[in-house]
């Protein structure tokens, strides 16, 4: 392996460490930052993410509430739960774990979340603010990717960034953030997706390649240029009878191949995923600070 590992765990630890004095100051002022996570159904990966978010809150001394509902819950009931969390003074951040069951209108649920408590940064108000470079609740995974680059002094300015994937959660917002006229941005961004022709020709142009496809090991070693920085957002479960769980986690990038050619690469797990949770904690603290500043007497 010639690439240097981008260790999300180390960067996430430093983000969380920087939150500690902010949380202490809030507590001093009589306010404990609180995050509510809503989980609908029993998707095992979502269950793992939600538990991990709650555990991280508790470790940081934040308040955490997990609302679990059956997959059969009516849309209106979920909307009512979100409305009551909007009014709940102990809660400063609300996250409805995606994906929701197919009978639900995910956008309608997102629109119900008070934008001031939208710690995912998914509400169109926050998406718009991000797009014009004025957001303060930035989407967690894209923001986490920028923090990783910053920690390793990889400045995207003037570089060719190729994002593979155009989801609202990762692909579109990370492209938007990296093209901003701003620090740790100013990149020339290309977004490729499932309909892109000659994908390897596009990915080989990248100085920084961000893979957010959601399919295991799609990016092979021959799809990156020598010395590229490779950021793997994928977390895919693939069957493996040699493990206790019967599966192992792999990214969207073939790590074994790409680590031979890349200059830097994120591992899966321990790369981008841990950053998503750290940035969620940061957003919750930011939302709580703003609540304290603007709450009516
Ligand atoms: N599902 C996968 N990633 C995310 C995320 O960042 N936020 C929410 N709400 N759901 C997700």
Encode pLDDT of 160-201 as tens digits: 999 999 999 999 999 999 999 999 999 999 999 999 999 999
Q: Is 75 within the bounds of a domain? A: yes
Is the pLDDT at 296 greater than 80? The verdict is: no
Ligand 1 pocket residue status of 217, Cβ below 6 Å = no
Based on the fold, state whether residues 267 and 204 are members of the same structural domain: yes
Stretch 61-78: mean pLDDT: 98
**Domain end call among 80, 114, 148:** 114
pLDDT of amino acid 244: 93
- One domain, residues 144 and 263: yes
Residues 54, 155 share a domain: no
41 & 79 share domain: yes
Q: How many angstroms separate the alpha carbon of residue 38 from the centre of ligand 1?
A: 11
95 and 172 assigned to the same domain: no
* 293 located within any domain: no
Would you say residue 15 lies in a domain? Answer: no
Contact between 200 and 223 (Cβ < 8 Å): yes
- Would residue 13 count as lying in a domain? no
pLDDT(1) > 90: no
CB of 279 closer than 6 angstroms to any ligand 1 atom: no
Same domain, 77 and 168: no
Pair (177, 216) in one structural domain: yes
Question: Are 53 and 109 in a shared domain?
Answer: yes
Minimal-distance CA residue to ligand 1 atom 4: 98
Mean pLDDT within 201-217: 98
Q: What is each CA distance from 70 to 40, 42, 50, 165, 204, in whole angstroms? A: 6, 8, 15, 30, 44
Is residue 128, in this structure, part of any structural domain at all? Answer: no
Of 49, 66, 142, 279, the one to substitute when testing ligand 1's pocket (max ligand atoms within 8 A of C-beta) is 49
Q: Separation of 201 CA from ligand 1 center, angstroms?
A: 30
Give the mean model confidence (pLDDT) for residues 33-38: 98
Q: Is the minimum distance from the CB of 207 to ligand 1 under 6 angstroms? A: no
Mean pLDDT computed over 225-233: 98
State yes or no: pLDDT of 54 exceeds 90: yes
If you write DSSP's letter for every residue of 197-262 in order, what string do you get?
SSHHHHHTT-SEEEE--SSTT-B-GGGS-TT-EEEE---EEEE-TTSSSSEEEE-SB-HHHHHHH-
Pair 223, 178 in one domain: yes
Domain that holds residue 151: 140-273
pLDDT of 160 reads 98
Query: What whole-number distance in Å separates Cα of residue 234 and Cα of residue 214?
Result: 5
Contact 212, 168 (CB under 8 A): no
Number of domains in the chain: 2
Active site members: 53, 97, 120
Which CATH number characterizes residue 49's domain?
A: 3.40.50.10860
Whether residue 158 is found in the same domain as residue 84 = no
Same domain assignment for residues 175 and 238: yes
Query: What are the DSSP calls for 30-56, one per residue?
Result: T---EEEEEEES--HHHHHHHHHHHHH
Residue 105 falls within a domain, yes or no?
yes
Q: For residues 164 and 258, state if they share a domain.
A: yes
Q: Is position 181 within any domain?
A: yes
Residue nearest to atom 1 of ligand 1 (CA): 98
The CATH number linked to 228 is: 3.40.50.720
Average pLDDT of the residues in 52-80: 98
In this prediction, residues 128-149 reach a mean pLDDT of 98
Instruction: Give, in order, the Cα–Cα distances in Å from 154 to each of 9, 158, 162, 212, 264.
Output: 17, 11, 15, 19, 9
Percent of the chain scored above 90 by pLDDT?
98
pLDDT for res 94: 98
Distance between Cα 297 and ligand 1 center (Å):
34
Is residue 93 in some structural domain? yes
Is the minimum distance from the CB of 97 to ligand 1 under 6 angstroms? yes
96 lines ligand 1 (CB under 6 A): yes
- Long-range contacts of 23-27, Cβ-Cβ distance < 8 Å, separation of 24 or more: 23/60, 23/61, 23/62, 23/285, 26/285, 26/288, 26/289, 26/292, 27/61
For residue 72, pLDDT beyond 80? yes
Given pLDDT bands bounded at 50, 70 and 90, which one contains residue 295? confident
Residue 46 alpha carbon to ligand 1 centre in Å: 8
Query: Considering the chain, what is the average pLDDT of its residues?
Result: 97
């Amino acid at each position: 392996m010639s690439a240097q590992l981008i260790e999300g765990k180390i960067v996430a630890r430093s983000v969380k460490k920087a939150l500690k004095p902010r949380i202490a100051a809030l507590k001093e002022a009589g306010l404990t930052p609180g995050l509510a996570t809503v989980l609908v159904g029993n998707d095992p990966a979502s269950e793992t993410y939600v538990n991990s978010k709650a555990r991280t809150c508790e470790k940081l001394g934040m308040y955490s509430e997990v609302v679990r509902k059956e997959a059969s819950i009516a849309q209106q009931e979920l909307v009512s739960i979100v409305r009551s969390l909007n009014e709940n003074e102990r809660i400063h951040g609300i996250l409805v774990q995606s994906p929701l069951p197919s009978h639900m209108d995910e956008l309608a649920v997102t629109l119900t979340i008070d934008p001031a408590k939208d710690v995912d940064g998914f509400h169109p108000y926050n998406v718009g603010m991000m797009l014009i470079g004025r957001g303060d609740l930035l989407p967690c995974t894209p923001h986490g990717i920028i923090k990783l680059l910053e920690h390793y002094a990889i400045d995207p300015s003037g570089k060719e960034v190729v994002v593979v994937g155009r989801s609202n959660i990762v692909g579109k917002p990370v492209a938007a953030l990296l093209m901003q006229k701003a620090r740790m941005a100013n990149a020339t961004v290309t977004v490729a997706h499932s309909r892109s022709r000659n994908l390897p020709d596009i990915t080989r142009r990248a100085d920084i390649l961000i893979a957010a496809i959601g399919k295991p090991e799609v990016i092979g070693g021959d799809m990156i240029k020598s010395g590229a920085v490779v950021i793997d957002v994928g977390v895919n479960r693939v069957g493996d009878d040699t493990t206790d769980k019967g599966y192992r986690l792999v990214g969207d990038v073939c790590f074994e191949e790409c680590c031979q050619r890349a200059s830097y690469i994120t591992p899966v797990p321990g790369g981008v995923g841990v950053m998503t949770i750290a940035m969620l904690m940061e957003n919750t603290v930011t939302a709580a600070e703003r609540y304290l500043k603007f709450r009516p007497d």
